[in-house]
Structure 1
């Protein structure tokens, strides 16, 4: 079964041995955005006048995405992409981890911090999917191959969440960021999908900038 964009983002963020998540705040926001991008790619939603609108309420067959779609369908008053990202974040992240567990790509471990507080970790169980994912990203970002719409959507999410180093830890940062921005701005998908991706990327930028400003002010 194909991994979802949210699952791919989580795979990139997990340390293979310890199962600890890197850049967890940014990744969780990106996973929430990925749910909306997936639904757009499946022809279920679009953005009209900055608000998320349902095109087709039929389930897509992925439990986490179907739960997100059901929430959007059930909401009487339309919401903006950023609002849905906040609302869906917790379920989207848990759905991504459950999806990777179901596919046998990670395993769940519970450890106690300071001997008291239980913390879940997700070490790698099968590295084939992450290896293939990184090869796909390297092909389009480092070698200049033309991306398919799913890969381009993932690149746009990584770029919007400022997760360049997570995807390409050993590459030239400026070159990677420039290429990822070019892909994110490219005309690689239908207009309806592009509108959702652009809105999600913009929302990610605002969320991350707000969080960064808050942490700086809190530490001053």
Structure 2
């Protein structure tokens, strides 16, 4: 599978080449949820809800989807504009809500399940993560993930740390990443990098609730992303509780 076909922008980080394709927000989220200490990805059981939320959030940032409140039906997603996104993942989600308004949680369930594999392959192809195939006890297949040498994760984490630990004003993508990490319920697994302390938790929850500040996004976009993040958090929480009972 080839990495996504979006063009690198000036604010993107990675190898630093102008020709490098831009990462999706969902790719960066998956990379941040990867724990280099043990090679695991946080929130595996409910991961597809927050990755789906990241896809919808990116569409909102690009002004390609909007939301409307529909009473008992909850929050509905609708595609905006006539031009489909170039990226395959974004385009698929945009087309899903093009001809019919979709309930947010239903849409997360529809677009989310295949995202982990697609995004993981992209991260490995880029060198952000490496994968090693081996065997346990000499015969049980085992796959081990490790952090690559691109420095991408460290750069992203430093931005999130500046916002959650130091209280810096976030840009829209960093605000979205921090909000989605919070929504995933996986912050405790990242405690070495994001201390599980009241100030950090409160800042993360504020971002999750849509308090991004005036510079991060317009009020309309912030409301859209807030609705998406809340629905992703609720869906992930319900699924996690069901799995534990």
TM-score (norm 2): 0.76
1:61-140 correspondence to structure 2 within 5 Å: 61-73=86-98, 76-112=99-135, 118=141, 120-140=143-163
Residue 147 of structure 1 and its aligned partner are, at CA, apart by 0.2
**207, 225, 230: which is aligned to 1:183?**
207
Task: Provide the residue aligned with 1:24 in structure 2.
Answer: 44
SS in 2 for 1:123: strand
1:200-211 correspondence to structure 2 within 5 Å: 200-211=228-239
Q: Number of matched residues?
A: 215
Task: Provide the residue aligned with 1:157 in structure 2.
Answer: 180
Residue 208 of structure 1 and its aligned partner are, at CA, apart by 2.9
Kept in 2, the 8 Å contact 1:159–1:181? The answer is: yes
Kept in 2, the 8 Å contact 1:32–1:93? The answer is: no
Task: Provide the residue aligned with 1:53 in structure 2.
Answer: 78
Residue 116 of structure 1 and its aligned partner are, at CA, apart by 6.2
Q: Which runs of 5+ in 2 are unaligned?
A: 1-20, 70-74
Residue 43 of structure 1 and its aligned partner are, at CA, apart by 1.3
SS in 1 for 2:129: coil
Task: Provide the residue aligned with 1:36 in structure 2.
Answer: 56
Distance 1:63 1:123 in 2: 26
Q: Which runs of 5+ in 1 are unaligned?
A: none
Distance 1:35 1:27 in 2: 13
Stretch moving more, 205-214 or 126-135: 205-214
CA 107–216 in structure 1, closer or farther in 2 if over 3 Å, else same:
closer
Distance 1:59 1:166 in 2: 37
Distance 1:84 1:163 in 2: 22
Residue 70 of structure 1 and its aligned partner are, at CA, apart by 3.0
Answer yes or no: is 1:195 the counterpart of 2:223.
yes
| Residue-by-residue CA offset, 1:46-97 (whole Å, 9 max, x unaligned) | 1123211111243433332223223333xx4321111111111123222321
Distance 1:40 1:142 in 2: 26
Distance 1:178 1:157 in 2: 14
Kept in 2, the 8 Å contact 1:40–1:192? The answer is: no
TM-score (norm 1): 0.83
Structure that is richer in helix per residue: 1
Answer yes or no: is 1:215 the counterpart of 2:240.
no
Stretch moving more, 2-11 or 16-25: 16-25
SS in 2 for 1:205: helix
| Residue-by-residue CA offset, 1:105-139 (whole Å, 9 max, x unaligned) | 12233345666664544322224000101110111
Residue 101 of structure 1 and its aligned partner are, at CA, apart by 2.5
Distance 1:31 1:69 in 2: 15
